[in-house]
Amino acid sequence: MPERLVKHEELDTACDLPVTVVNLFRMGLVCGVLAVYIPHSLSTEMGDGDSPELLASACTNSLPMPSAGDSHAVHLRPHPPGYPLYTILLQLWLGLGLNSHLLSACFGALASAAVCDAVLLLSMTVCSGALPLILGVASAAHYSLATLRFHTVVEVFPLNSALLSWTFYFGIRWLLRYPDRCPWQCGLLMGLAASNQHTSLLFLPSFIFIALRRSPWTAVLKLGVCFAVGLLPYIYLPFLQGEMSWPTASILRHILRGDYGTLSLGSATNPHANDDRVTPIAVVGAFVEDTGILSLCLGILMSVVALRCETNVRIITLVCVTSFLIYMTVFSWMANLSLESSLLRNSVYPRFWVQPLLPVHLITGVGLATLWGCGRKIPRVVTLCLAFVWGMEGLANYLPTDLAHSRVLSDYYSSFLQALPPRSIVVTTGDMPAYAMKYLLGCTASRSDVRTVSEAELSSRYWWESSQRRHILPGLSHLPVPNNAENLKILMTTALREDRPLFFVHLPSFMSAGYAADYFGPDRLVQGLTLYPTGPAIRVYRLELRSGSENGRYMPLRQRRRRGEHYEMIREGWLRVARSSKAMSSEK
């Protein structure tokens, strides 16, 4: 048992030290996390995943809208409805002239403070010696491999960590201090988290269960109103960005990502129902590989310790365990990306482990603080050893994620754009290359004569009717058909007829450890096209009818012998980037 249980009226500090000293410890924790995050966040590269999209959306929204006659206008819109809350905050942050990645570092530091306060409330120990331990646990929790990697780049997950951490804190404070009141902060923060990243909804069932058990119906209704208020950022994007950003689907379908996204909560079927490789065991294995086996083992061990505490601590522990299990189960069922692709496995999936790590870290902190509060030597020695090993694992993650001085991605995209012939049209596959190049075109004004279009846009009637299409090919009038290959053929035919240089590009993620050779798939016009690292694009010179094709589909002909000056420029540009990257690595 702890040396002295905390009375409910003392839970604002949960420590026998003065409040000022506790606040100083909190400030030291935030500054310490920032001191580790900031060197990583000084990178000027765009990053992979959704980073180019967020940068393009925020940067373009902060620019004045072009006039109707501006032929060089580049209209950038995120896929509907984007990430409205993070887009708004990033737009304001860029307006101050600050480094975009620093915003994520600040959100990560705020999340560490919330984790510390939540563990302080739950530790039920007033021994002043436990405070440094709790601060160390909160610090180590934010030095894990996945957290350190994605809390230092432009991503929606750092903001989500902060919102969910403070949701847990206010929920714990309500349960321990004011069970007869309405925890409106929890409803508001959960709504904001849902408008920022839809996977936050997976934490909602556990909170709803506790609210229904501990609060009257009037308080539950107030919580629902606060949650709805938190969704108001969704109003921002459709009014600002109009066409393409807000099609006819309902707001609920948008919130659940029913039509797109890595994790579509609006779909009732498992996209990998017949794929034995995407199973809960495989997903948990990927989680352990990306976050470290120690975090999960500590969480399981400390949950057993925390379940022996008093009733309210057991309830919060069960909420954390349930939230983790719901998240991993739903993710393994609804995730629509295969684990077999090294590109997706190494650059997309790890981002989604930041959120389930939060309840694991809370449980670990409570369990370690409880062991320390027992007052016996053996539990305290065990606690110190576990905390030390966990801290060393966090410090060991510093170098593998240190990208502070890397400009490989930015230089790679820039050299590709600079090497293109005049009036080129670039057709992209995948979100990252599309938004990366549109960010450079719309926000850096590097090539005003180049136009880009993604394969996804070709199937959208909103794009064909938009001003962006008119700026690419003014003479083209077409409504999309269900077969996207036909839309692509019409675009290519018109571009070649008007003597516009046409390129296909699919730039792989630099986080990927695998190498994907370029190929033309049998079912799609272009599938998984990659020329890495010898060059980023294939130029289309003419179309040929595929032999043996029953439906008359056309195929772009790649002519390896017709590589001209522009191909050599692209290749030399990439080689310069590769050499500079190796030189920086050797200097370190």
Can you give the pLDDT at residue 164?
92
CA 262/CA 500 separation, integer angstroms: 34
**What residues contact residue 281 under an 8 Å CB cut-off, 6+ apart?**
none
Q: What one-character-per-residue DSSP string does 89-157 give?
A: HHHHHHHTT--HHHHHHHHHHHHHHHHHHHHHHHH----TTHHHHHHHHHHHHTTSHHHHHHSSSS-SH
Distance, in Å, from the CA atom of 408 to the CA atom of 581, rounded to the nearest integer, reads 7
> Is this prediction's pTM over 0.85?
no
| H-run or E-run covering 312 | helix 311-334
Per-residue tens of pLDDT for the chain, all 588 residues: 344 434 434 444 445 556 676 677 777 778 777 777 777 677 666 666 677 778 877 776 543 333 333 333 344 444 445 677 888 888 888 888 888 888 888 898 888 888 888 888 777 544 445 666 677 677 667 777 777 778 888 888 899 999 999 999 888 888 877 777 778 888 899 999 988 888 888 888 888 887 777 777 788 888 888 998 888 887 765 555 444 444 445 556 666 665 555 665 555 444 444 454 567 777 777 888 777 777 788 788 888 887 777 777 888 888 888 999 888 888 877 766 666 666 566 667 788 888 888 888 888 888 877 777 666 776 677 777 777 776 666 666 665 555 544 555 566 667 777 777 888 888 776 666 777 777 777 776 667 788 887 776 776 666 666 655 666 666 666 666 666 667 777 777 778 788 888 777 754 432 232 223 332 333 232 232 333 333 456 666 665 444 444 443 333 333 333 333 333 333 444 444 444 444 444 554
Phi, psi of 406 (to 5 degrees): -100, 130
Instruction: Specify the DSSP class assigned to residue 531.
Output: -
Residue type, 78: P
Looking at the DSSP assignment, which residues form a beta bridge with residue 425? 451, 502
Neighbouring C-beta atoms of residue 158, cutoff 10 Å? 28
Q: What pLDDT score does 258 carry?
A: 58
Q: In what order do the strands lie in the sheet with 425-428?
A: 451-454, 425-428, 502-505, 537-540
Distance, CA of 355 to CA of 197 (rounded, Å): 10
The per-residue pLDDT for 578 is 41
Task: Write the burial class of residue 578 (CB in 10 Å: 0-12 exposed, 13-18 middle, 19+ buried).
Answer: middle
> What are the sequence ranges of the domains in the chain?
8-401, 408-587
What pLDDT sits at residue 254? 61
Residue 15: predicted pLDDT: 52
**What pLDDT is attached to residue 189?**
92
pLDDT of residue 49: 65
For 132, the token pair is 């440094």
Structure tokens at 480: 């999309």
* Residue 270 burial by Cβ neighbours in a 10 Å radius (0-12, 13-18, 19+): middle
Q: What angle do CA 351, 352, 355 make, to 5 degrees?
A: 110
Reference 263, options 322, 201, 319, 206; nearest CA is 201
Question: What pLDDT is recorded for position 407?
Answer: 56
Burial of 523 (C-beta count, 10 Å sphere; 0-12/13-18/19+): exposed
pLDDT of residue 410: 65
